[in-house]
Amino acid sequence: MACRSVISSSLHMTNSMAVKGVLSFAPNPPLFYRLPKAVTFVSLSASTKPPTKSFQVAAVGLRSVDIGVFGGIGEDTYGLFDDNFFGFIIFIFSVRSVAGTTEAASGFDEMVSGTKRKYYMLGGKGGVGKTSCAASLAVKFANNGHPTLVVSTDPAHSLSDSFAQDLTGGALVPVEGPDYPLFALEINPEKSREEFRNAAKKNGGTGVKDFMDGMGLGMIADQLGELKLGELLDSPPPGLDEAIAISKACILCVVMQFLESQEYSMFTRIVFDTAPTGHTLRLLSLPDFLDASIGKILKLREKIASATSAIKSVFGQENTRQNAADKLEKLRERMLKVRDLFRDTDSTEFVIVTIPTVMAVSESSRLSASLKKENVPVKRLVVNQILPPSPSDCKFCAMKRKDQMRALDLIQNDPELSSLLMIQAPLVDVEIRGVPALKFLGDIIWK
């Protein structure tokens, strides 16, 4: 059939296009067409003449398969042909979206190459498969010779469930199963906060409030009204936002340890299973926010210190204030290091995970825009849970597939997402739990 070669050569030429061709054949025997490896048809439509009939067939995530779209589907599914049919059929193939080969799409070779440490943060909307993708990537790195650490920064941790091992406790825990060392760490915000409090206690305080008190600022809120200090200041006193931010910084303090501590120096790949979008964005913007807040606190302290001696006496010892100021300065420096790490294209990448629904795609688009704004490098988009091809969809699956195609189409046309490498991951029919299942999923996704 002349059309076959037209389709075949065109499919290799571009990632998104429409192919039209004319086939003339009798439906018996049905025509089968072998698709090039890893070609993904998002939509394929055909019409017949005479009489003019049209139908749409779709197969998402096809890989090196024979598809009996013409004779088979026409006959069985759409009733276009019958035994007495003869004549010409004009097929118009409209290939709206064709993914490149999976190998090229995921670019795992690039992810795995080199022994310099790299950080991968996987994030997206709740429930799309962030943990499964992060854990499967970590297993894949470990099986490829990288001592790997997988870290959960999601307060609702599910790494333990995903690996089917107890990884709780907020410390490094070895994961059993992979060929090379794989460790997991579920950052426990409560425990981190406790450690932070203890650290503050050692220096004579009893928590974040005392940390602020140490700065001579803890009483400000209480005293402001009385002393009318507000009139002396052109910026508002540090309040709840800063206190909360500093306590949240505990998570960032753990990240800082990756940079500084010997305990973590062995790891050449660190994979983060992040919290759903909102949390993660706040976390990523925290270094800048803290930089500004700490700057504000220090500036404020200077102003207060040089106000009046009567006011100075309200705020206690100069030494304590200086100590706290030094600590804040140190914290600020470390935060800035973390910020630089988040933005370093050579060592860090944020992988967005989504599913093919309009809602998830819209959120991913916003996430991508926000990450861009924060200058966090993003290259890859995993579209998880795509229905695998099936020769005969039930009504529910057909509807679902149509929705998924619409969402995939949206990705192709989204200004924030279309430039990312799209990695399509099928919905698999086994529960992704435990190292063997994660290896199975990882071998499909990270090629």
Ligand X SMILES: Nc1ncnc2c1ncn2[C@@H]1O[C@H](COP(=O)(O)OP(=O)(O)OP(=O)(O)O)[C@@H](O)[C@H]1O
User: Binding to ligand X by residue 128, rule CB under 6 A?
Assistant: yes
Question: In this structure, are residues 291 and 169 in contact, taking their beta carbons and an 8 Å threshold?
Answer: no
Least distance in Å: CB of 427 to ligand X?
4
Q: Which is nearer to ligand X, 163 or 211 (CB)?
A: 163
What beta strand segments (E) does 49-186 contain? 53-59, 66-67, 118-124, 148-152, 173-174, 182-186
Question: In this structure, are residues 214 and 205 in contact, taking their beta carbons and an 8 Å threshold?
Answer: yes
User: Binding to ligand X by residue 131, rule CB under 6 A?
Assistant: yes
Axis crossing angle, helix 240-260 with helix 189-202, rounded to the nearest 10: 90
Q: Which is nearer to ligand X, 131 or 268 (CB)?
A: 131
User: Binding to ligand X by residue 144, rule CB under 6 A?
Assistant: no
Judge whether 291 counts as a catalytic residue. no
User: Binding to ligand X by residue 425, rule CB under 6 A?
Assistant: yes
Q: Largest Cα–Cα distance in the chain?
A: 105
Q: Which is nearer to ligand X, 259 or 427 (CB)?
A: 427
- Site size for ligand X, by CB under 6 A? 17
Helix (H) or strand (E) holding 380: strand 378-386
Catalytic residue among 154, 273, 393, 414: 154
User: Binding to ligand X by residue 432, rule CB under 6 A?
Assistant: yes
What is the x/- site pattern for ligand X, positions 221-260, by CB under 6 A?
----------------------------------------
Least distance in Å: CB of 122 to ligand X?
8
Tokens representing residue 229 in the block: 């200090």
Q: Which is nearer to ligand X, 212 or 438 (CB)?
A: 438
What are the angstrom distances between the C-alpha of 284 and each of 240, 251, 268, 334?
19, 11, 22, 14
What are all long-range contacts of 6-11, with beta carbons under 8 Å and residues at least 24 apart? 7/33, 7/93, 7/95, 8/36, 11/35, 11/36, 11/39, 11/95, 11/98
Least distance in Å: CB of 385 to ligand X?
5
User: Binding to ligand X by residue 127, rule CB under 6 A?
Assistant: yes
User: Binding to ligand X by residue 383, rule CB under 6 A?
Assistant: no
Nearby residues of 126 by Cβ (< 8 Å), 6 or more positions away: 276
Q: How far apart are CA 20 and CA 350, in angstroms?
A: 38
* Torsion sign across C-alpha atoms 340, 342, 344, 346: positive
Axis crossing angle, helix 435-445 with helix 130-143, rounded to the nearest 10: 90
User: Binding to ligand X by residue 129, rule CB under 6 A?
Assistant: yes
Least distance in Å: CB of 138 to ligand X?
13
Least distance in Å: CB of 431 to ligand X?
5
Least distance in Å: CB of 428 to ligand X?
4
User: Binding to ligand X by residue 357, rule CB under 6 A?
Assistant: no
User: Binding to ligand X by residue 277, rule CB under 6 A?
Assistant: no
Q: Which stretch binds ligand X (CB under 6 A): 64-72, 333-341, 412-420, 421-429?
A: 421-429
Active site amino acids:
154
| Binding region for ligand X (CB under 6 A) | 126-132, 154, 158, 276, 384-385, 425, 427-428, 431-432
